[in-house]
């Protein structure tokens, strides 16, 4: 036992020193050393690899040995990253959704077909449950970016959670884009939120924000009727536009970005614990 206690911290330290976490989304890439999952670097790519020379030079100077990444979109960007890792002998793992996660807490994937669930939603749920473990409450995890997802996570007992699935709709920017394309007369949509809009542009902006807030409140109401009072977590690139209005209805709202990276960090910790046990 004394040997185990002496050696496991070494493996945890070695694992963290050589690992980068990557969250590759539809429009943005977030990455961070594993030691800093809550302070990532963000690159807006919109499906292009224009950033790669500067980023790849930076990564080479950091000498990473391992990548743990989540990607659900941007295949051109994912291919470029993977080629870079292969060319430089960097071990990589684009993670997949799991039937369950076992770390500091347990999260069960109750999706009808667990493999169909996007890895970003799964690891955001892992990150949320890991971050909020001390609360011992059910969670409503909201990611609002290109799409808006609202996922219900039920707290059962003793650190065990069930991911029950949720709702997906257009994010605020896509809502605005499709209104412009679908209704040619709506050419000026740069309005502002107004509780009683008196112009078309303000009516559009108010409608978009209220649609997002309403979706979240509906999901919370359903959970409450089932006997769960969830903590609402909001993340994503459009969170800053939604948060002030959602907070009017949910005063204890938590804006907590980078939940996917937090989930990948929890996964890395799980794997590092496994390395320590194997070496012992």
279 flagged as catalytic: no
Judged by DSSP in three states, 169 sits in strand
Closest to 241 in 3D by CA, of 182, 185, 176, 183: 176
Which secondary structure element, helix H or strand E, spans residue 29, and what is its range?
Answer: strand 28-33
Q: Quick one: 100 exposed, middle or buried, by C-beta within 10 A (0-12, 13-18, 19+)? A: middle
Structure tokens at 278: 């194997």
- Cα distances (angstroms) measured from residue 274 to each of 97, 102, 270, 271: 19, 11, 6, 5
Strand partners, 168: 149
- The answer to whether the CB of 175 falls within 8 A of the CB of 211 is yes
Q: Quick one: 251 exposed, middle or buried, by C-beta within 10 A (0-12, 13-18, 19+)? A: exposed
Catalytic residue among 38, 87, 120, 188: 120
List, as own/partner pairs, every contact residues 173-177 make where C-beta atoms lie below 8 angstroms and the sequence separation is at least 24, other chains included.
Answer: 173/146, 173/238, 174/146, 174/147, 175/208, 175/211, 176/204, 176/208
Closest to 234 in 3D by CA, of 132, 139, 124, 142: 142
DSSP-assigned letter for residue 74: -
Task: Provide the annotated active-site residues.
Answer: 120
């Amino acid at each position: 036992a004394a040997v185990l206690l002496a050696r496991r911290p070494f493996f945890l330290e070695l694992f963290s020193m050589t690992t980068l976490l990557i969250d590759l989304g539809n429009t943005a890439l977030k990455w961070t050393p594993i030691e800093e999952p809550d302070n990532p670097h963000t690159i807006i790519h919109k499906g292009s690899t224009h950033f790669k020379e500067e980023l790849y030079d930076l990564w080479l100077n950091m000498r990473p040995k391992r990548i743990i990444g989540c990607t659900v979109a941007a295949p051109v960007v994912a291919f470029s990253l993977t080629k870079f890792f292969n060319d430089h002998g960097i071990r990589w793992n684009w993670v997949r959704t799991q039937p369950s996660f076992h770390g500091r807490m347990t999260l069960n994937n109750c999706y009808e077909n667990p493999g169909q669930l996007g890895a970003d939603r799964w690891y955001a749920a892992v990150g949320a449950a890991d971050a909020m473990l001390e609360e011992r409450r059910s969670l409503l995890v909201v990611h609002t970016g290109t799409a808006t997802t609202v996922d219900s996570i039920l707290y059962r007992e003793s650190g065990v959670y069930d991911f029950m699935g949720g709702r997906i709709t257009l994010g605020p920017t896509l809502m605005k884009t499709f209104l412009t394309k679908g209704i040619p007369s709506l050419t000026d949509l740069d309005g502002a939120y107004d509780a009683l809009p008196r112009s078309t542009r303000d009516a559009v902006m108010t409608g978009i924000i209220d649609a997002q807030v309403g979706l979240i409140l509906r999901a919370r109401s359903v959970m409450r009727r089932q006997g769960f009072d969830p903590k609402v977590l909001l993340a994503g690139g459009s969170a800053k536009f939604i948060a002030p209005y959602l907070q009017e209805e949910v005063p204890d709202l938590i804006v907590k970005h980078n939940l996917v990276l937090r989930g990948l960090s929890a996964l890395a910790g799980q794997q590092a614990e496994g390395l320590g046990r194997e070496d012992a």
